[in-house]
């Protein structure tokens, strides 16, 4: 049987490398965005990083266990399928995987008592799904790298 992702990705010895790779993934995805929405995303992301250089890695660390839990069924099904690449497996199920992953942030926002944060999140949520789908090739490669 293949090891569960929480046994590999969340292993204490691997967490710093996983967090660093997730941050690099986010940086690359933001950098790749173009047009007016890309410019806005780059500006907002840059502003967040300037406010506190630890905000992004701290957020990744805090959300990582929940994201790993959401990815686990896909990982187990992928390993049983005999397919070669987790990236391709995720991309083929893009809408479903994106909704599952965004469920983590949806739950976090739902539990917030900050109305302004909820309003901003709800306005960004539709484009967030598109961005998550676009990130699935990199995410699949990252998971496969650290899970093997």
> CA nearest 69: which of 107, 104, 39?
104
pLDDT of residue 42: 84
* Residue 139 reports pLDDT greater than 70: yes
What's the average model confidence in pLDDT over 93-114?
91
- In this structure, what is the dihedral angle of CA atoms 95, 99, 40, 134, given to the nearest 10 degrees? -40
Confidence of residue 1 (pLDDT cuts 50, 70, 90): low
- Mean pLDDT computed over every residue of the chain: 91
Residue 59 tokens read as 């957020």
Residue 38 burial (C-beta neighbours within 10 Å; 0-12, 13-18, 19+): middle
CB 22, CB 60: distance < 8 Å: yes
Task: Report the phi/psi class of residue 3: left, alpha or beta, with left for phi > 0 and alpha for psi in -120 to 50.
Answer: beta
Confidence of residue 146 (pLDDT cuts 50, 70, 90): very high
What's the average model confidence in pLDDT over 37-43?
82
pLDDT of residue 75: 97
Q: Return the higher-pLDDT residue of 98 and 119.
A: 98
pLDDT of residue 56: 87
Q: Is the dihedral of CA 81, 84, 89, 90 positive or negative?
A: positive
Residue ranges of the domains in the chain?
A: 3-145
What is the C-alpha to C-alpha distance for residues 121 and 126, in angstroms, rounded to an integer?
A: 9
pLDDT digits (tens, 9 = 90+) for 60-100: 999 999 999 999 999 999 999 989 999 999 999 999 999 99
DSSP 8-state symbol, 84:
S
């Amino acid at each position: 049987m293949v090891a569960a992702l929480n046994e590999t990705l969340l292993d204490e010895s691997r967490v710093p490398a996983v967090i660093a790779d997730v941050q690099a993934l986010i940086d690359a995805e933001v950098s790749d965005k173009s047009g007016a929405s890309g410019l806005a995303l780059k500006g907002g992301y840059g502003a967040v990083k300037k406010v506190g250089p630890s905000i992004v890695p701290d957020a990744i660390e805090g959300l990582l266990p929940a994201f790993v839990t959401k990815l686990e069924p896909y990982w187990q099904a992928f390993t049983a399928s005999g397919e070669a690449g987790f990236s391709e497996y995720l991309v083929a199920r893009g809408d479903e995987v994106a909704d599952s992953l965004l469920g983590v942030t949806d739950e976090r926002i739902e539990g917030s008592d900050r109305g302004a944060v909820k309003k901003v999140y709800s306005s960004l949520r539709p484009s967030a799904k598109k961005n998550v789908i676009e990130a699935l090739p990199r995410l699949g490669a990252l998971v496969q790298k650290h899970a093997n």
